[in-house]
Amino acid sequence: MTGPARPVAAVRSAVAAAVGDLPPGALVLVACSGGPDSLALAAGAAFVAERSARTGSPWRARAVVVDHGLQGGSAHVADEAAAACRGLGLPADVVAVTVDGTGEAAARTARYAALERSADALGASAVLLGHTLDDQAETVLLGLARGSGARALAGMAPARGRFRRPLLGLRRTDTLGACAALGLTPWHDPTNDGTHADAALRSRVRTEVMPVLERVLGPGVAEALARSADQLRADADLLDVLAQDLLASARAADGLDVDVLTAAAPALRTRALRSAAIAAGSPAGALGHAHVQALDALITRWHGQGPVALPGGIAAHRSCGRLALGPAPG
Ligand SMILES: Nc1ncnc2c1ncn2[C@@H]1O[C@H](COP(=O)(O)OP(=O)(O)OP(=O)(O)O)[C@@H](O)[C@H]1O
């Protein structure tokens, strides 16, 4: 298949593959910003759901547009996106959220919470997101530049909980091509052009860094980065399971057994310590490499040092061969 039909067919078959395991009658939400990726996704979902009605295994699709309220006119943009989805045959809701903080991460947290709430309220089995292979490659590059570990370099999973990302194997050129072939006019986020630091950085990776890498290293760099993410995700998933086993065997009534942690491999010990800190109430997003290193020093470089302060008002201290984590004394 060539020409405009190819990206349209690629998006449709990616959607069909992503929802193939859902029971008949399932409701699928499409998270749509109105941008090219999620508009192509909405079009694909509308088509495949319509087609499923003629089979023995029908499912229903509807769209949710989140209005983050971060830019003037955001309600209008959200309404336009919802109207575009309705034009494709999908019932669509706009959900307004309050973003607690600034930056891409705060908006993302509010968005995912709103999508979960919508899915609960509507009884949806799955929520589809429009991330593409290009988004994955950019995530890996940004993670490398920050010195991230395997979990962050593993990028986004094709499915986690109710969220599914059918387009992770497709390129942005496919979603743009699908929109063009279907006569859809996607919205282009103006924050990508420099008004918002996180989005602007990602946009520069997209428009400046990736083309240089492709020119110097040859084509296929984005695919290679996405492949690395897949391999690292499998590794990180295994290490997380093993770290939980370690934590379980180190747990004692009065804290974590330092001898058990000392004997463990660093890759497992540091993961176990990070997980113990999160379980004690330290927010995952604020817990950095330096915090985990300071916790690890209480185990492996012990010289009677004082408690380690962690984000969220949590403290870790070692005494009598035990590591205890809990609220810092006030
Ligand atoms: N305001 C929103 N409302 C609903 N879903 C959203 C919204 N913003 C993002 N999403 C979902 O998250 C996905 C990733 O969004 P992000 O803005 O990071 O990437 P993008 O590549 O610019 O996607 P798009 O082209 O769809 O805007 C989108 O494809 C969409 O599924």
Q: Is residue 215 over pLDDT 90?
A: yes
Q: What is the pLDDT of residues 222-280, one digit of tens each?
A: 999 999 999 999 999 999 999 999 999 999 999 999 999 999 999 999 999 999 999 99
Q: Output the average pLDDT for the chain.
A: 94
Separation CA 109–CA 107 (nearest Å): 6
**Does residue 318 have its Cβ closer than 6 Å to ligand 1?**
no
Name the maximum alpha-carbon separation found in the chain.
Answer: 71
Q: What integer is the mean pLDDT of 197-220? A: 92
Ligand 1, atom 17: nearest CA belongs to which residue?
33
**126-128/163-164 β-pairing:** parallel
Pocket test for ligand 1, best of 29, 30, 37, 198 (most atoms within 8 A of CB): 37
pTM of the entire predicted model: 0.91
pLDDT band (50, 70, 90) for residue 15: very high
282: tokens are: 């330290």
User: Is 285 assigned a ligand-binding role in the annotation?
Assistant: no
Separation CA 24–CA 101 (nearest Å): 40
Q: Sketch out the chain's domains with CATH numbers.
A: 5-224 (3.40.50.620), 253-327 (no CATH)
Q: What integer is the mean pLDDT of 104-114? A: 91
303: tokens are: 């010289």
The number of helix segments (H) and strand segments (E) in the chain equals 13, 11
Helix (H, G, I), strand (E, B) or coil at 200: helix
Q: Rg of the chain over CA atoms, in angstroms? A: 23
**27-31/126-128 β-pairing:** parallel
Atom of ligand 1 nearest to the CA of 172: 21
Ligand 1 centroid–CA 92 distance in Å is 15
Ligand 1 centroid–CA 179 distance in Å is 15
Answer whether 29's CB lies under 8 Å from 127's CB: yes
Residue at 146: amino acid letter: R
User: Is 33 assigned a ligand-binding role in the annotation?
Assistant: yes
Residue at 244: amino acid letter: Q
Separation CA 309–CA 233 (nearest Å): 30
Least Cα distance to 103 among 205, 197, 201, 195 occurs for 197
**Does residue 35 have its Cβ closer than 6 Å to ligand 1?**
yes
**Does residue 131 have its Cβ closer than 6 Å to ligand 1?**
yes
Ligand 1, atom 7: nearest CA belongs to which residue?
33
Ligand 1 centroid–CA 39 distance in Å is 9
ipTM: 0.96
Tally the C-alpha atoms within 13 A of residue 59's C-alpha that lie toward its C-beta: 26
User: Is 34 assigned a ligand-binding role in the annotation?
Assistant: yes
For 115-129, 189-203, 290-304, which range has the lowest pLDDT when averaged over its residues? 189-203
- Phi (first) and psi of residue 265, to 5 degrees: -65, 145
Task: Give the model's pLDDT for residue 72.
Answer: 86
Q: What integer is the mean pLDDT of 165-182? A: 97
165: tokens are: 């990302």
Say which DSSP state 206 is in: I
Q: What is the pLDDT of residues 60-71, one digit of tens each?
A: 999 999 999 988
Q: In whole angstroms, what separates CA 267 from the centre of its chain? A: 23
**Does residue 291 have its Cβ closer than 6 Å to ligand 1?**
no
Task: Give the model's pLDDT for residue 1.
Answer: 62
- In percent, the amount of the chain with pLDDT more than 70 equals 97
**Does residue 205 have its Cβ closer than 6 Å to ligand 1?**
no
Ligand 1 centroid–CA 47 distance in Å is 20
**Does residue 130 have its Cβ closer than 6 Å to ligand 1?**
yes
Q: What is the pLDDT of residues 46-105, one digit of tens each?
A: 999 999 988 877 999 999 999 999 888 899 999 999 999 999 999 999 999 999 887 788
Ligand 1 centroid–CA 300 distance in Å is 43
- Residues recorded for the chain: 330
Ligand 1 centroid–CA 36 distance in Å is 9
**Does residue 269 have its Cβ closer than 6 Å to ligand 1?**
no
Q: Is residue 6 over pLDDT 90?
A: yes
Q: What integer is the mean pLDDT of 292-311? A: 97
Task: Give the model's pLDDT for residue 200.
Answer: 84
**Does residue 31 have its Cβ closer than 6 Å to ligand 1?**
yes
For 89-93, 131-135, 201-205, which range has the lowest pLDDT when averaged over its residues? 201-205
